Chain A
Amino acid sequence: MTSLTSILSGGLQGYVLVALLLFVIGLGAVLTRRSILVQFMGVELMLNAANVALLAFARFRGGDAQGTVFYLFIIAVAACEAAVGLALVVGLYRHRQTTDTDRADALKQ
């Protein structure tokens, strides 16, 4: 079947494309927005993109549980990252009274 049909009908190519586009959009959020919280959301989007790709491959290669186990670990890591990251956001706010990452440039030369 052609790529377009495969994409539009939910074949592997479709899921991978969705995952990659999601990743790119998440990257766009990090690069384009100044608020640290929005950047954090972008990072979550990127993680999810990885999850989608992972589970898509798992299903199209036999469907064993390894893919889902790995997905579980990724969730665990994302949770930890969210906890610590948001703690840092609170800390930044306490020091600088701002969540604008452009103002956090003390390492500027």
Chain B
Amino acid sequence: MFLIFALITLVGAVALVLQRNLVVAGLCLVLSFMGVAGLFLLLLNPVAAALQIIVYSGAIVVLLLFVIMLLNEHQEEPAQKARPLQRWVSAAVILVLGAGVVKLVAGSPVLRRLGGGSAPAPPAMTLGGLGDALFSGHLLGFEVAGLLLLAAMVGAVALVKRDL
């Protein structure tokens, strides 16, 4: 199961990078998010999976697609000037990073120790449990997040208004 969701996530991501059409790219993003939601389920966290689908795929990607439609530019514009240096160096950096990451993860003793499946699986996350934790121990963070959302909203409106 894990392998399936992991592949969905990664393939969606790769497809996103290689896609020319913006709308299709947005849909690939949705696919990737779905994969991630599946991974969350496997991590015994249905709350997170639900939130992932509701907020990320349902709200943020929708907003993104709104803007794409608004600007009405579905294809990426042809480049003003082909810049092979950037492209090739980026590719090199990505490959190096990728290889390094794999090597790191495979060779890390910490992860091996932590990932040793001797401990019994904890209980799945419940919404009640999350709510309890959120409103008791992390109340301040919750309030600040609310303020942050307010600020972002005001800011977004202010940036987009034509005249104040």
Contact = CB atoms under 8 A, between A and B. Distances in A.
Interface string B142-164: 00010011011101110110000
A26 B47 CA distance: 25
Size bin of chain B's contact surface: 35 or more
A6 B123 CA distance: 21
B130 A65 contact: yes
A20 B91 contact: no
Interface residues of A: mostly helix, strand, loop or mixed?
helix
A104 B152 CA distance: 24
Interface in B84-99: 86-87, 90-91, 93-94, 97-98
B68 A17 contact: no
B115 A11 contact: yes
Contacts of A98: 77
A41 B64 contact: yes
Contacts of A37: 22, 25, 64, 67-68
Given A63-B44, A77-B145, 20 more contacts: A13-B111, A22-B32, A24-B101, A25-B14, A25-B17, A26-B13, A27-B97, A31-B93, A32-B91, A37-B64, A38-B16, A48-B33, A59-B44, A60-B114, A66-B133, A66-B138, A68-B130, A73-B145, A86-B63, A90-B159
Q: Nearest 10 CB-CB pairs, A to B?
A: A63-B122, A12-B115, A80-B152, A10-B2, A65-B133, A31-B90, A87-B159, A11-B115, A87-B156, A83-B156
Interface of B: 1-3, 6, 9-10, 13-14, 16-17, 22, 25-26, 29, 32-33, 36, 39-40, 42-45, 47-48, 51-52, 55-56, 59-60, 63-64, 67-68, 70-71, 73, 76-77, 79-81, 83, 86-87, 90-91, 93-94, 97-98, 101-102, 104-108, 111-112, 114-117, 119, 121-123, 125, 129-130, 132-134, 137-138, 141, 145, 148-149, 151-153, 155-157, 159-160
